[in-house]
Amino acid sequence: MRLSHEWSHATPVFDDENLVSCAGLVPVLALAEQAGLSQLIGEKVSITSWRVRSAGANPVGKLSSIIAGMAAGADSIDDLDVIRAGGMDRLFGEVYACSTMGQFLREFTHGTTSQLASVARAHLRALVQRTGCLPGIEARCFVDIDSLLRPVYGHQKQGASFGHTKIASRQVLRKGLSPLATVISTETGAPLIAGMRLRAGKAGSGKGAASMVAEAIRTARAAGASGQILVRGDSAYGNRAVVGACLKAGARFSVVLTKNRAVQRAIATIADSAWTPVHYPGAVIDPDTGQLISDAEVAEVQYTAFAGTKTPVTARLIVRRVRDRAKDNELFPVYRYHPFFTNNTEPAPQADITHRQHAIVESVFADLIDGPLAHLPSGSFAANHAWAWCATITHNLLRAAGALTSAEHAVARGATLRRRIVNVPARLARPQRRPMLHLPRHWPWAAYWTRLWDNVFTTGKAPPAAA
């Protein structure tokens, strides 16, 4: 592909008021309105301005502008200006400048952030009912909890402190803020974010996890999870508080236990004949022997956790063992053991596969880091917390839009949805006073885009009134 010699001498001029660079925001924000986003914000969010008198006014328009900018790819406050280019003010009303939205975010407090969290949970429930983006939730769903450390820089970031994180499989200390997130998924449905709590970087991974799990279970129930709910987590969440919250809410649990002496004694009681090979999805079978090339095996034993407390819990301790290939010349096989504690009723091999699918939460983190959580843009802790909740709403909205587009887009990454569906250029026209969007000819995903448009607007509801 080569540039034409003629156009190498062209004069670029940014002057067309009838062009927009992200026409996909029209059906996406219409979907947000059909799920009641503006109504929820108007009912639940009330901000009293402390710094600038007018900064907290009209939270509906300002929050929906932030969400629109994030859906178009903004990962900082300055990037939110993308929604003001070209003819965007003709498509949407109440399109605010990024400086106005920055002032607005700095007016948030812990209380108003909690109001925004309530909006996000209610909007998730409405999106699930409107689009069916969690298929099979009525039969069984999964709640996964995990945290990450987002690096920040400078001396004026409230709450920033040094915490442990893994980079290239090594534990390192890094200055940042630590969001704790819960996600809801099903066997065939991509995960939606149920909760997001911003914490100081030095906060332990399990701090506040029990209340987050309880809230996520209530959100899943409200979204239609009338069947089994399985809560999954790593060793930071294998504690009495999280397990107790699961049992109190009527959910099952599958959490990793730290290998203390009691756990090691339980593992030692497993007979050699009890170990069963695990056939992981995508595992390779040796064509000569017909056996799995993977040497992972599982076994289980009954175990009473938290025995020294007032609330002991007896359930299954399922252990996965793998040959330690770092010791090639051993006299006898040396294994690494990975135990987890669960009351899941599946057979041990299937329960192990189900538990390891907890890694789906990492795909959510990757989406957020590749999108609105690339930065935590403000010096104010509450503003960054509100930013994280806006990122949550945006993630769920894009996921629901993907579900209305195709089965492929229902599980696509956020970056893919933005490239194919949202960031589509268009020219605004009114032939015979009839509004029309002229989109690129031969757009590779035109059929999908049209399907989303039809699925959103065939309900007879009007386009959104605010960006």
Tell me the average pLDDT across 4-17: 83
pLDDT tens, residue by residue, 184-218: 999 999 999 999 999 999 999 999 999 999 999 99
Please write the tens of the pLDDT for every residue from 166-184.
877 788 889 999 999 999 9
Pairwise pLDDT comparison (281 vs 62), residue with the higher score: 62
Is 420 in a helix, a strand, or coil? helix
pLDDT at 465 over 60: no
Per-residue pLDDT of 266-303, as tens digits, reads 999 999 899 998 877 656 565 655 655 567 899 999 99
In the prediction, which pLDDT does 464 show? 43
For residues 123-133, give the mean pLDDT: 95
pLDDT beyond 80 at 328:
no
Beta bridge partners of 176: 151, 161
For the chain, domain boundaries? 37-415
Q: First CA to last CA across the chain, in angstroms?
A: 37
Cite the DSSP H helix spans in 231-359: 240-248, 261-268, 348-356
Distance CA 126, CA 139 (A): 19
What's the pLDDT tens digit per position in 378-401?
A: 999 999 999 999 999 999 999 999
Q: Classify strands 276-277 and 313-323 as parallel, antiparallel or unpaired.
A: unpaired
User: How does residue 28 score in pLDDT terms, banded at 50, 70 and 90?
Assistant: very high
Mean of pLDDT values over 317-335: 78
Share of the chain above pLDDT 70, in %: 94
- Kindly report which listed range (3-7, 79-83, 132-136) carries the lowest average pLDDT score: 3-7
Q: Which residues contact 115 (CB under 8 A, 6 or more apart)?
A: 44, 45, 46
Owner of token pair 């250029």: 425
Instruction: State residue 231's pLDDT score.
Output: 98
Question: Considering the entire predicted model, what is its pTM?
Answer: 0.92
The CATH architecture assigned to 37-415 reads Alpha-Beta Complex (3.90)
Nearest to 465 by CA among 119, 94, 57, 83: 94
Strand bridging mode 252-256 / 228-233: parallel
User: Tokens at residue 217, please?
Assistant: 């279970």
Mean pLDDT of 330-354: 89
The predicted structure's pLDDT at residue 325: 64
The average confidence (pLDDT) of the chain is 91
